Amino acid sequence: MIHVSSHSPHGQSPLRTVQVLGGGSAGSCAHVRSLTSGLVARGVRVTVCAPASADHTYDFSGVGADHVHVPRRNDPTSMAVLRAACADADLVHAHGLHSALRAALALSGRRVPLVVTLHSRPYAEGARAHLLRLLERRVARAASVVLGSSSDLVDRARSRGARDARLAAVALPAPRRPAESEDADRLRPKARAELGATDRPLLMAVGSLDRHRGYDTLLDATRAWRRLDPVPLLVIAGEGPLRAELQRRIVSEGLPVRLVGPRDDIGELLAAADLALLPGSWESRSVLAQEALHARVPLVAAAAGGIPELVGDAAELVPHGDSEALAEAVEALLADPDRRERLRDKGTLQVATWPTEDETVAQVLSVYDELTKPLPLP
């Protein structure tokens, strides 16, 4: 959560705003850090209230913000800290569904504008799906403005009862990749050697090892690649509850896959890859998809969530959950260097259409101004 205060050009009292961040995905945390940096650069005073682990990873303090530790838990102590942080706010901005619910509860009984940014489509099955719908309705109706990072999230918020839902400008902050092309050229052989892909195609997937990310589909697809010569190596960077299950499959089925856990050199690994793979993601603005296009690495992705809108024709899209289509798309691209080069060029063009960090900050400040400007005198 971010506490923001800016000086009005008309001499009014500084704006006091609190943004709630519960930990969230890499995309939402990176967005909050980028937003914090932009606000501070414009003379805005910012306090980030988020789990200590998020500040450790994203260093909100390092871009000029104060940080207050607010655990993601919904216990009375955590909620009391959140309510105290919101006590003197003119506006509250929450990122993600669960953070938005906590913010709405913290503001209960107060007439304070609530802005909610949705970064991904929430995922639930069975009885939890019904609870999720109730939660979405509660948040949509509590929010003054909902900002969705893709059109499908905007439509979803409207269907849940949002009064005002808009498409958000969400930029990719600081891609995790070598800054200069010569650095990438120098680091690529080293990264490939470390991963064991000096003489074989290298495929990269990145993301938490969760059920909804499509890793089962991805492992199913690797079975088809074993007949290729040389056999491609799939490297999956990330950690999560499915790790043991995925590792068992890799060993028992003899799959050409390596789980390398969480890494802080994703940019170098991605730049060394022949293809990036996104088998399933409900992030509307997938960090991996954006980084792959920035790094000119051809992307094969499931046509899910906001991915088609994000990448346009700059990636090879396959039906979600279709391992055969995924396998065939990868094989075809590996066999067609001209097609890979066309995707690289289309990726560069697509990247140019995405919002900048300045545009992201400008939109947020515009919404804040709209919601907090004084009413005209009668």
Q: How many other CB atoms are there within 10 angstroms of residue 261's CB atom?
A: 11
**Is 0.85 surpassed by the pTM of this model?**
no
Rounded CA-CA distance 20/93 in Å is 6
Rounded CA-CA distance 232/343 in Å is 20
Residues 214-218: contacts with CB under 8 Å, at least 24 apart: 214/278, 214/279, 214/280, 214/281, 214/302, 214/320, 214/321, 215/242, 215/246, 215/279, 215/280, 217/279, 217/280, 217/302, 217/321, 217/322, 217/323, 217/326, 218/277, 218/279, 218/323, 218/326
Rounded CA-CA distance 151/185 in Å is 37
The mean pLDDT value of the chain amounts to 88
**Residue 175 pLDDT more than 60?**
no
Amino acid letter, 331:
E
pLDDT, residue 178, reads 47
* Nearest by Cα to 259 from 274, 242, 284, 283: 242
CA 361 to chain centroid = 17
Listed by start position, the domains of the chain span 2-171+356-372, 181-351
Q: Residue 173 — very low, low, confident or very high, per pLDDT cuts 50/70/90?
A: low
Is 48 strand, coil or helix?
A: strand
**Tens digit of each residue's pLDDT (9 = 90 or more) over 346-363:** 999 999 999 999 999 999
Rounded CA-CA distance 20/83 in Å is 11
Rounded CA-CA distance 239/206 in Å is 9
99: left (phi over 0), alpha (psi -120 to 50) or beta: alpha
Name the more confident of 304 and 376: 304
- CATH superfamily entry for domain 2-171+356-372: Glycogen Phosphorylase B; (3.40.50.2000)
Rounded average pLDDT over 241-263? 95
Does residue 235 contact residue 261 with C-beta atoms inside 8 Å?
no
CATH 3.30.465.10 fits 181-351, yes or no: no
**Tens digit of each residue's pLDDT (9 = 90 or more) over 266-300:** 888 999 999 999 998 666 788 889 999 999 999 99
Rounded CA-CA distance 162/323 in Å is 36
CA 203 to chain centroid = 21
**Tens digit of each residue's pLDDT (9 = 90 or more) over 116-128:** 999 888 777 788 8
Rounded average pLDDT over 315-338? 96
Region of poorest pLDDT, from 54-58, 131-135, 144-148, 336-340: 54-58
Does residue 102 contact residue 22 with C-beta atoms inside 8 Å?
yes
